[in-house]
Structure 1
Amino acid sequence: MKIITYNHINKEPRITIGVNQCLKQLVNGDNPLYRGSHFSTKVESGISAIVTDNVYKEDAVVKYAAMDSEHIGIYFFYTDRHLDFRIDDSFHIDENQSYHTMLVDLGLPLSYRVAKQTAVFSVNISMEKQLLSAYFREILFPNLTMDAIQDTETKSLIYNNYISEQSLILLEEFRAIAKNHPFYELFLKGIVYALIKDFVINMQGQNYYIQNN
């Protein structure tokens, strides 16, 4: 089974497909593994993002390389088949849903299994915890979700099997923009800030599953 790994090396997003590390910002592919694209960018100091829009031609594993736990990941997935999310192969979420939203401590080795012919569109945001805490202080009233994220003794995974209506509109509008558009990266940076804000607001509800490790 082929492996794709997303890294944030020296706070810069990097994509590893098999044994090859891609240093380019935009990677288009039509090969035996997938048809589609990966796009990575540094949004600002402490925030980076990777966008994927792929159809997989064979079963594959997509991994997010564990890094220091000073960073948090906010991930949005839209797929036509369910994804089997796992943490170090010891904990997994396997639900038949098309939408997935999660916040995960980047100290956790997260991965997911994707079946042949599955289409996956995702926006994966990495940011420093202190920046996310600033968003919390401005937008979110203290609750169990906030406590779970800021707990320095544990690493948290916060998961939901839907994407909010506002975030879904943002993602669908952004997906329609051509990758070669001269302002594609600028649009992505704007979408990242809007997604972070909407995610934090929606976490005030009681719809998220919280797992501490």
Structure 2
Amino acid sequence: MIRAVAFDVGETLISDERGWGGWADWLGVNRHTLSALVGAVVAQGRDNADALRLLSPGIDIEAERAAMERAGRGERLDEADLYPDVRPALAALRETGLRVIVAGNQTKRAGESLRSLDLPVDAVATSGEWGVAKPEPGFFARTVDLAGVAAREVMYVGDHPQNDVLPAHAAGLRTAHLRRGPLGHLWADSADAQVADWRIGSLTELVDLLRAK
């Protein structure tokens, strides 16, 4: 029985377009170039930050992020970054009595921005706040703790099979692969995505699925 639903952030709840666009502008490169590199390195099984390292060898990403912040070009999220189905789906899931949480590989600043959006969720946490990131087992242990129920009663929803579906499954959670964003579509038919308990094309579909159970 599912009693809690936990959501990834990037390309699950929010579009990553603004974030990567900001990096491209800061580094003085074409946005499409950086976007293509992000897709390429992740498809190779590498950290998406390697795209920044390809463009700027030796880059200190945290130092650059701090410099962007000082220049007034730091990380931020607002309503325009949310996918259209997010608010109604989260609200509908809570109305069914499920505990709804957000837990993704994001910075502390992103966690603050997400909370400022006042989403209809019970809790928000990020890897930057926890000090452990997906796909590490410790991240999913923290997610289960935040959900407040047994691992088998938590559904983790995300677009990335290797970061979301496989490690959540290994940690004993139920999983849903979301076909959204470049990586969600790239791996939609992969063997890794098929490990998911459910494969969905939208959060509206997820609501319908859980209401039917």
TM-score where L is the length of structure 2? 0.29
Identify the structure with the greater helix proportion: 2
Which has a greater percent of strand?
1
Which structure: larger Rg?
A: 2
Which one has more relative contact order, counting CA pairs under 8 Å at least 6 apart?
2
